[in-house]
Structure 1
Amino acid sequence: MSPTRALRRRTFRSTAVLAGIAALASTLAACSSTSHSSSGQSNFVSGTGEITTVSAADRKPAPDLSGKTVDGTQTSLAAYKGKVVVVNVWGSWCAPCRLEAPNLVKVAAADQAKGVQFLGINTRDLAAANARQFEKRFAVPYPSLYDPDGNLLLRFPKGSLNAQSIPATLVIDRQGRIAGRALKALSESELNQLIDPIAAEK
């Protein structure tokens, strides 16, 4: 084999190896950035960061959200008819959920006098014990429906505001309609900005 041909072959092999390494790195990056794994890693379903509100005339009814809670009792969205209900979707495995939990707890306590009720939906926690430990750690005072398979989240009607990320927060008005949504972890200030106008409606 001539020196020129041998050099070309080595160059081709080096280029192929580098291309393969780049493709593998790209695949691993995509896998790690989409959602959490079943092994309980702290990856999460990233939201867009949008906070959306809907005028009263354009709101759609919230679906039936009911079932067993994290602590084994029963509750439902319908149980809070006539109140503004803040529905927070969370998982104990979700780092942004842990970040916003103290803010939710503070605002939930402060907004009781305004006729506002908080209701969680715990999702993708295959062991309810993990969810209970989360609630104990952050002293969560409101119930959370236990939805490990995400079935409750699929009940939101097509075209309505729905939970497209974890965490996500939805605000249901006193008529049982979806009035607002946040696809991000919220600060106390952001929670108040989302909830207060809806709570002030007559």
Structure 2
Amino acid sequence: MSEQYRAGSNKGYIAGDGSISEIPPGERGEPVSFSGISDTGEPVSSADYAESVLVVNFWYAACAPCRVEAPDLEESYQAHRDDGVHFLGVNIRDQAATAREFAESYGVTYPSIADTEGSVKLSFAGEMAANAVPTTLVLDRDGRVAARILGRVMDVSILNALIDGLLEEKK
């Protein structure tokens, strides 16, 4: 990743390679606690997702891979929402109006937190950091990071399989 920065391409982000990391249940860290304000002005916190599988996607509007993966994330959200799975975007750069415009343009119906100060991103730093944009983290029902896709979700079936695996885990 440092090579990307030193290359001086000025693309404005460090791209992930699409690598997937999974953490077995017995090796997962502590539950992640976070809070923020959604792009619609509502307070959001990790407590809102207690006992649910949660997919957290770090993104911003000008990020090209974020735009490419948005329809796939929405497809996965729609496929799993009736199973009690939640999705939450974490917008690391944009103001709320820009995030709402992005959601409208790309058909994203799940909420996003505005995290321009980085407090939500920092909440995940000790467990499995979002070292690239986009990064997608999948949390188990205990609020622990169970999987990370570093970079764009290249194949929605992989994200769906990660979610399905967590849904099958016993509480």
User: Secondary structure in 1 aligned to 2:9?
Assistant: helix
**CA distance in 2 between partners of 1:161 and 1:98 (Å):** 23
**CA distance in 1 between partners of 2:31 and 2:122 (Å):** 12
Structure 2 match to 1:183: 150
User: Secondary structure in 2 aligned to 1:152?
Assistant: helix
1:161/1:181 contact within 8 Å kept: yes
C-alpha displacement at 1:117, in angstroms? 0.7
**CA distance in 2 between partners of 1:101 and 1:183 (Å):** 15
**CA distance in 2 between partners of 1:86 and 1:77 (Å):** 12
**CA distance in 2 between partners of 1:151 and 1:74 (Å):** 14
CA distance 1:135–1:59, shift in 2 (3 Å): same
Structure 2 match to 1:121: 90
Per-residue CA deviation, residues 77-109 of structure 1 (Å, 9 max, x unaligned), is 210101100001110010000000001111101
**CA distance in 2 between partners of 1:129 and 1:115 (Å):** 28
Letter paired with 1:145: I
Normalising by structure 1, we get a TM-score of 0.76
Structure 2 match to 1:56: 25
Per-residue CA deviation, residues 102-130 of structure 1 (Å, 9 max, x unaligned), is 011111011012221111101112x3221
Question: Greater relative contact order: 1 or 2 (C-alpha under 8 angstroms, separation 6 or more)?
Answer: 2
RMSD: 1.7
Structure 2 match to 1:108: 77
C-alpha displacement at 1:157, in angstroms? 4.7
Aligned residues: 165
% of aligned pairs identical?
Answer: 41
C-alpha displacement at 1:173, in angstroms? 0.3
**CA distance in 2 between partners of 1:177 and 1:143 (Å):** 20
**CA distance in 2 between partners of 1:62 and 1:166 (Å):** 22
Structure 2: unaligned runs, 5 residues or longer: none
User: Secondary structure in 2 aligned to 1:111?
Assistant: helix
**CA distance in 2 between partners of 1:155 and 1:174 (Å):** 17
C-alpha displacement at 1:29, in angstroms? 7.2
CA distance 1:29–1:58, shift in 2 (3 Å): closer
Q: Does 1:151 align with 2:128?
A: no
1:124/1:150 contact within 8 Å kept: no
1:62/1:156 contact within 8 Å kept: no
Structure 2 match to 1:170: 137
C-alpha displacement at 1:49, in angstroms? 2.2
Structure 1: unaligned runs, 5 residues or longer: 1-27, 37-43
